[in-house]
Amino acid sequence: MLYSTIEKIVIDGYKEIKVLSIDDLCIENIAHRMNIELHFTDKKTATTLFPDFTFINIHKYFPSYLKTWAFFHEIGHPVLHAVDQRMAVKTVSDFMEIQANRFALHASMPIHLVRYMDHITPYTLAHMFNVPLWAAERRMLQLESRYLLGQSF
């Protein structure tokens, strides 16, 4: 099986913290297992890195599916980037956002959990993984292109 770099990072990371079922994918569980301090406040959604842990704030008034998406997007930054995005030039910062969005697609709907679903549609992905429908539609396109390329998922 061929995996993209981001997908491989997600697969290896989930093996390490033992994410084996959709129940394990709860954002509070993931935060705890990754030593992430997760808070829901009325402040802007953002990630702050400290030497011993990561702090993620998610806007408390987001609907649950946006909280899920925001969490996986935000953990993409420390997992993928060694540079503080606030210090990066705009083109690099934009690229980091694209990568964090790609990471969120894989991390919120990981292949090792999607693989065992019976009937996969964007609606079932959105419902089962508690993500926005537009994110499930993008993930579905990834899965369909993998299938069309002859790779099973």
What are the pLDDT digits (tens) for 26-65? Answer: 999 999 999 999 999 999 999 998 888 899 999 999 999 9
* Interval 5-31 mean pLDDT: 96
What are 33's two structure tokens? Answer: 């297992």
Average per-residue pLDDT in the chain? 90
Residues 108 and 99 sit within 8 Å (Cβ to Cβ): no
Domain boundaries, the chain: 5-148
Residue 148's pLDDT band (cuts 50, 70, 90): low
Is domain 5-148 given the CATH code 3.40.50.300 in the classification?
Answer: no
Task: Tell me how far apart the alpha carbons of residues 83 and 58 are, in angstroms, rounded to a whole number.
Answer: 21
What are 118's two structure tokens? Answer: 């019976």
**pLDDT at 65 (0 to 100):** 98
What are 42's two structure tokens? Answer: 């009325």
Task: Tell me how far apart the alpha carbons of residues 1 and 140 are, in angstroms, rounded to a whole number.
Answer: 18
Task: Tell me how far apart the alpha carbons of residues 19 and 114 are, in angstroms, rounded to a whole number.
Answer: 13
Task: Tell me how far apart the alpha carbons of residues 57 and 124 are, in angstroms, rounded to a whole number.
Answer: 28
Whether 84 has a pLDDT exceeding 80, the answer reads no
**pLDDT at 51 (0 to 100):** 83
Can you give the length of the chain in residues?
153
**pLDDT at 22 (0 to 100):** 94
**pLDDT at 118 (0 to 100):** 85
**pLDDT at 145 (0 to 100):** 85
* Interval 80-99 mean pLDDT: 78
Whether 94 has a pLDDT exceeding 90, the answer reads no
Whether 1 has a pLDDT exceeding 60, the answer reads no
Task: Tell me how far apart the alpha carbons of residues 23 and 109 are, in angstroms, rounded to a whole number.
Answer: 12
Task: Tell me how far apart the alpha carbons of residues 18 and 30 are, in angstroms, rounded to a whole number.
Answer: 10
Q: Kindly report the backbone phi and psi dihedral angles of residue 26, in degrees, each rounded to the nearest multiple of 5, phi listed first.
A: -55, 130
